[in-house]
Amino acid sequence: MKQAVFVIGNMDCPTEEALIRKRLASVPGIGELAFNLMERRLTVDHTLPDEQPILGALREIGMQAGPAAAQPGACTRCEADGAPAVPAKTWALMAVSGIAAIGAEILAWSGAAEASAPVIALALISIVTGGLGTLRKGWIALKTFTLNINFLMSVAVIGAVAIGEWPEAAVVIFLFALAELIETLSLERARNAIRGLMAMAPETATVRLDSGEWVERPAAEVGVGQFVRVKPGGRIPLDGTVTAGASAVNQAPITGESMPVEKAPGDPVFAGTVNERGSFEFRVTANKGSTTLDRIIHAVQEAQGQRAPTQRFVDRFARYYTPAVVVFALLVATLPPLFFDAAFQDWLYKALVMLVIACPCALVISTPVTVVSGLAAAARHGILVKGGVHLENGRRIKAVALDKTGTLTHGRPVLTDVVPLVERPADELLQMAASVDAHSEHPVAAAIVAAWQAPGRALLDVADFESLTGRGAQGRVAGRLYYVGNHRLVEELAICGPQVEAVLQRLEREGKTAVVLATEQEPLCVLGVADTLRGHSAEAIRDLHALGVVSVMLTGDNPTTARAIADQVGIDDARGNLLPEDKLAAIDELIARYGTVGMVGDGINDAPALARASIGFAMGAAGTDTAIETADVALMDDDLRKLPRFIALSRRTSQVLWQNISLALGIKALFFALALAGKATLWMAVFADMGASLLVVGNGLRLLNAAGSKTKA
């Protein structure tokens, strides 16, 4: 069995996947098919002598297919580098289509006949510029007996034209084409997210040769066991273990930790993380393609692939509804004249009335109008929803997992405590600590300096400053040596008595980083630095609980810090020390327990969990590009209260959707009965169809006034 991989430029959703499956099923020699909509890849197992029959079958159904080299872990870009996902020409044609459709509606509403030349001309312009692709796909679907949503839309447009509803035909085809473009853009954003992950690790590394010389080499050529050197401010190219030197490394891209982690010989380092200061060497433990960052990339791709989009209700319904109506109308037209000697013209007329009533315009338009209204209402409240399917599925959320740093907290350390240990004013002690730390680049030191600095508050002169790697810093003020450092430093100075221990333990239990200002003889004060809670985090959690949603914290910070923050905001379950793969496993566990699960995060380390969750939420302003692009919903101003508002809006949208679907089908069922009884005429059928459309549109537009508030609807 051979395997062929194809890139299909216009394969973006399950509709194309179903069409391809049906067509290739009839080609002898083809076995398993594997689809990757994220990368627009199709993998085919086959026993054919060459790939031409597969390419021919794909091109027969309008697929832009070409062979591609199978490169595991790579994200294939179907468009040329730098080319937009949707070309400017397509946007221009869509603009013309929309303007022409609106123009036709305005003319009709202002008194012009819907079958008048100006109205027909504008409608034709709209259909040609915006809908030819849909009509072409509808024709292919008909030829292959795949009655999908493209066929349904084609029937809707042709039916509207046949009964003279030209403006309606134009508006329906324009809305559907616009929805298809939005879906294409959404997938392209996700592809860009994976490209952004791949670009995090540098392409080159400074490697030590056997001769002892240091040379620049492509990271892909560096093997396990070789030694690499990293300069201050540089990104680490590969996973490894530190062998010489020391520094602080920003591991937020991997672990999500809010503070840089001190690294010394024996400590692990990860590809894609940033060396804050100092130079060090490490021995490579994973080559390119196998690093922690590569695993994150793979997890994102796999999680995206496992989350098959929810097939649209109308598409499923059309599989039975449209053929059934056509067959039923044919039977109505033929059986009574053949078997009951009824008048053929009378029953043909009844069949035509049924086909007109069956025009799915109201049904088709009800979903996009309702969803677009819901999306617009969400956007008004700073909630960016990347597709109607996420808005519809939000109502099913039973549990929400939340990252800590940058989601529940601000992601920026600030000074929270100054605890004097001697009889000196707290401000004097803070000034002393800030003066020494002003020469340090550590984020904790920056928080202490920022807490002191204000107009009129000067720093003291410091001499003989020295950074004490992994412990803190020291410097002389007025000839006396002062230390500002961590627990380890005061133990080395042999001044860590019971009073200091008690304060340090208390601050650490509260989830804070504790540092001590001291001389060689005694500790002077303890300072607490912490990543502070966002102002509305507790309120957001209360609102989630009011909606019956369980809250879970997933963080790379230690369990003590995680539990302290969880207690402050009222979270049900807190889990700490989690790497990206651990968060992914936690999401799988929550999905198994609750079904539909949301994940809220802001960091690259959250990307796999965001992708695997039923709905991923990114904290928009503070989040990394990868987290935002991978997520399905972005809370644009970082207000976590928008999460319960989104769920409430989703529940309201679902109610309106089912109201509209029931309304459209109910009216059609009523007029079917009237048609069979001979009480309905063609003009009544047209009125019923247009009336149903207007009703569902009006009902859907009510969502524009939805406040997205904390309703329990």
As annotated, the active-site residues are: 403
Among 205, 152, 181, which residue's Cα sits nearest to residue 87?
181
Q: And the tokens for 526? A: 């303890």
CB environment 375-409: b (16+ within 10 A), e (fewer)? bebbeebbbbbbbbbbbbbbbbbbbbbbbbbbbbb
The identity of residue 697, as a single letter, is V
Residues 472, 484 contacting (CB under 8 angstroms): yes
End-to-end CA distance of the chain: 54
DSSP output for 417-451: EEEESSSS-HHHHHHHHHHHHTT---HHHHHHHHH
In 453-509, which ranges are continuous DSSP H helix? 487-492, 498-509
DSSP output for 88-121: HHHHHHHHHHHHHHHHHHHHHHTT--TTSHHHHH
What gap in Å lies between CA 228 and CA 209, rounded to an integer?
Answer: 10
Give CA torsion, residues 643, 647, 648, 653, to 10 deg: 130
Q: How far is CA 702 from CA 431, 582, 641, 694, 695, in A?
A: 59, 42, 23, 13, 11
Q: How far is CA 393 from CA 445, 452, 597, 636, 646, in A?
A: 45, 48, 10, 20, 11
Q: Report the SS3 class of residue 83.
A: coil
Residue 662: how many other CB atoms lie within 10 Å: 12
Q: State the residue for tokens 């029959």.
A: 53
* Residue 145, phi-psi category: left (phi > 0), alpha (psi -120 to 50), beta (remainder): left
What gap in Å lies between CA 379 and CA 635, rounded to an integer?
Answer: 10
DSSP output for 575-641: E-S--HHHHHHHHHHHHHHHSSEEEEE-SGGGHHHHHHSSEEEEETTTS-HHHHHHSSEEETT--TT
Q: And the tokens for 125? A: 């312009």
The identity of residue 667, as a single letter, is I
The identity of residue 151, as a single letter, is F
Q: Report the SS3 class of residue 550.
A: strand
What gap in Å lies between CA 652 and CA 660, rounded to an integer?
Answer: 13
Handedness of CA 145, 148, 150, 151 (dihedral sign): positive
Give CA torsion, residues 582, 585, 590, 593, to 10 deg: -140
DSSP state of 301: H
The identity of residue 287, as a single letter, is N
Query: Residue 291: exposed, middle, or buried by beta-carbon count in 10 A (0-12, 13-18, 19+)?
Result: buried
